[in-house]
Structure 1
Amino acid sequence: MKNPFRNRFRRWINRRIPRSDLQTFSQKNIFILPTGAGVVFGLLLVIMLLTGINYQNSLIYLGTFLLGAVFVGAMHQTHRNLSGVELTLIQPGEGFAGDDIPFRFRLRAGRDDAIAILLSCEESGHAPVHVHCGQAQDVSLPVHSAHRGYLRPDRIRIETRFPFGLLKAWSWIRPVSAGVVFPRQVPAPEAFSTVEDGEESAEVRSVEGNDHADIRPWREGDLSQRVLWKRFARTGQMVVADWEGEQGSPYWLDFNAYPGADYELRLSYLAYLVNERGRSGVRFGLNLPGQIIEPDSGPAHAARCLRVLATWGEERPRDAMAEPHGTRKKQRETTSQWVTEGQA
């Protein structure tokens, strides 16, 4: 059962701090409370004051008022330490599901130094940073991911306890931009693409009979049917035959090549294959229901394919639909229809 007071507080915070990739902190959105040490410190001041009243001791009065002045000064300095700070999300992260996705922020101090500033998101955080007045510093905050899709943290907390650690001043930034989480990599079983490549597909099945074939050593990412297994049985050398026109017949990574697996597992297979092909430099294309990426090679092509796999069937998070950690919104009916058509 959800806590109604917590939900009411969350709605109040969301109204007070709207979503934005740029947040400037002031007295309107900075909160300050004593820490555990500050509460104990305050209780000791009360005890000292009661003791001074009871014994009418001037030295106890003096000590109590001096320590009370230190507490009040620390309160103003803690609030001032965060006031005027500007926090900007400059680059949402990318990564595979289950990993920590780095989000890059830029801290810019106001008229005063921003000392011991800490950014955190639930259990993840970074070491406190010191930004001199008028200067900026980039900070990378890891955000944990669980599923593929868009990742948008609900709230990023900014906090300071300088000086003395008696009080803490904090606020939040609620980003608009979302990171991208690629499907979790699962080693893919051997499968054959259903994409038709014309006459060149038939040539693949008769590589050894091609007079224009060039023999080269096997490289990671080569199809097993292109290996000259007879020569491997005779010599123990694993070689592959390249022939004229093969460069125009790229290897397709096909969603429909795994009919017995659910669509999330298929995407994990494809993410593994895309990562392998990207590292080996093999030319490949990606075939998904409703979306096709033409064959290409290189890191940029592999990154584009991974982004497509991450966001396939997903809807970019919107303000009214936001949930903690950018929970992905599935188009379940559409996705099920795609899968059914692919299996057919």
Structure 2
Amino acid sequence: MRLTKGGGLYVASTLLLGVSAVNTGNNLLFLIVAAMLAFMATTGVLGWLNIRGLALSVHLPDEVYAGGETFVSVTLANAKKFLPSFLIRVTLSGSSTTFLLIEKDRPQSGSLLLCFPVRGPLQPLTASVSSPFPVNFFVRAAALPVAERCTVFPAPRALTVPAPGGKPDAGEAASVAVAGYDGELAKISDYRGGEPLKLIHWRLSAKHEVLKVKELTATAAEPLLLDLDLVPGRDLEQRLSFCSFLVNRLIKGGRPVGLKLGARVISPANTRAHRLRLLTELAGYGKD
């Protein structure tokens, strides 16, 4: 419980009147002090009840990177008491959000912007639920455990890699698709000589003075095994960051990627689940 500025003035006034009542023996002052104490007690009980019976659930995304800001969804529910809760502030890791009204069996959701500085399994979190209700004399708070767990991945740091012809990472410049003969149609261009006959677009060529050929993207690139010991970097953390970037960039580009961590080898694949598995392995490397 924390005393607000208004609450401090109220308590000081009550004490001053109480001392005056004792010194003067004035019954009216005794009645005023009694009323003020009764009001303080009533608001204290209401404030205590206001933050009781609340259940908090936190949803962390499946991709959380060290040092990066992450939106976290929080849901606050009032399922144990009939009375609603008012002016509830939820604080988690220094970030907070406020719910004006939490009615019974009507959960409310909000979001927090959090930053986790260290890679690895996330340590158990504890959220603080507080409220100045009803008259902002006292701010009462209660701690609620957070059951949600996740792994914080190493912060990706850009490293130059050959363009695999797939979708680039968000924020990265789009790379030119690698030309091939068995992929999807990328564009139609003029015949330059040397292209296989099967790539000539005969119907379109009949409408132009020059032959037109189909340019196709390359099929999936050759599998790649990333050896953490061979990734450049001044220390382990930088090499893990570079490797995290390579895993994201190459797999999102459609290239099967595996990982070699010391004597342990993870076979290449290019699915999202495999990418998250590799990032989890990088996050926990050296933490044992």
Asked if TM exceeds 0.5, the reply is: yes
Is 1:292 the equivalent of 2:266?
Answer: yes
Task: State which of 250, 258, 277 in structure 1 corresponds to 2:223.
Answer: 250
Tell me how far 1:77 sits from its aligned partner. Answer: 0.2
Task: State which of 231, 245, 249 in structure 2 corresponds to 1:276.
Answer: 249
Is 1:65 the equivalent of 2:34?
Answer: yes
| Deviations 1:150-189, CA, capped at 9 Å, x for gaps | 1224422121221112123222133354222111121114
Tell me how far 1:260 sits from its aligned partner. Answer: 5.8
Alignment of 1:62-141 (within 5 A): 62-91=31-60, 94-109=63-78, 110-111=80-81, 112-141=83-112
For residue 178 of structure 1, what is the aligned residue in structure 2? 149
Bigger helix fraction:
1
- 2:282 corresponds to which letter in structure 1? L
SS at match of 1:152: coil
| Deviations 1:243-299, CA, capped at 9 Å, x for gaps | 7xx6362344442432664332221112222333355x32231313114142214x5
Identity, in percent, stands at 22
C-alpha separation in 2, matches of 1:248 and 1:275: 15
Structure 1 residues 276, 101: CA separation in 2 closer, same or farther (over 3 Å shift)? Answer: same
Structure 1 residues 250, 132: CA separation in 2 closer, same or farther (over 3 Å shift)? Answer: same
Tell me how far 1:48 sits from its aligned partner. Answer: 1.5
C-alpha separation in 1, matches of 2:88 and 2:50: 9
Tell me how far 1:132 sits from its aligned partner. Answer: 0.4
Is 1:160 the equivalent of 2:131?
Answer: yes
For residue 284 of structure 2, what is the aligned residue in structure 1? 311
Do the aligned partners of 1:150 and 1:311 also contact (CA within 8 Å) in 2? yes
- 2:120 corresponds to which letter in structure 1? G
Gap regions ≥5 residues in structure 1: 1-31, 192-206, 218-239, 314-329, 332-344
Aligned residues: 242
Structure 1 residues 148, 72: CA separation in 2 closer, same or farther (over 3 Å shift)? Answer: same
Structure 1 residues 131, 36: CA separation in 2 closer, same or farther (over 3 Å shift)? Answer: same
- 2:128 corresponds to which letter in structure 1? R
Bigger strand fraction:
2
C-alpha separation in 2, matches of 1:38 and 1:215: 70
Do the aligned partners of 2:259 and 2:278 also contact (CA within 8 Å) in 1? no
| Deviations 1:10-63, CA, capped at 9 Å, x for gaps | xxxxxxxxxxxxxxxxxxxxxx45445323321210102222344454544443
Structure 1 residues 144, 305: CA separation in 2 closer, same or farther (over 3 Å shift)? Answer: same
Do the aligned partners of 2:57 and 2:147 also contact (CA within 8 Å) in 1? no
Question: Between Structure 1 and Structure 2, whose CA radius of gyration is higher?
Answer: 2
Structure 1 residues 92, 188: CA separation in 2 closer, same or farther (over 3 Å shift)? Answer: closer
C-alpha separation in 2, matches of 1:261 and 1:213: 41
Do the aligned partners of 1:94 and 1:102 also contact (CA within 8 Å) in 2? no
Do the aligned partners of 1:91 and 1:104 also contact (CA within 8 Å) in 2? yes
SS at match of 2:104: coil
C-alpha separation in 1, matches of 2:117 and 2:143: 22
Alignment of 1:254-265 (within 5 A): 254-258=227-231, 261-265=234-238
TM normalised by structure 1 equals: 0.59
Task: State which of 18, 43, 52 in structure 2 corresponds to 1:49.
Answer: 18
C-alpha separation in 2, matches of 1:252 and 1:159: 50
Tell me how far 1:92 sits from its aligned partner. Answer: 6.5
Gap regions ≥5 residues in structure 2: 163-177, 187-214
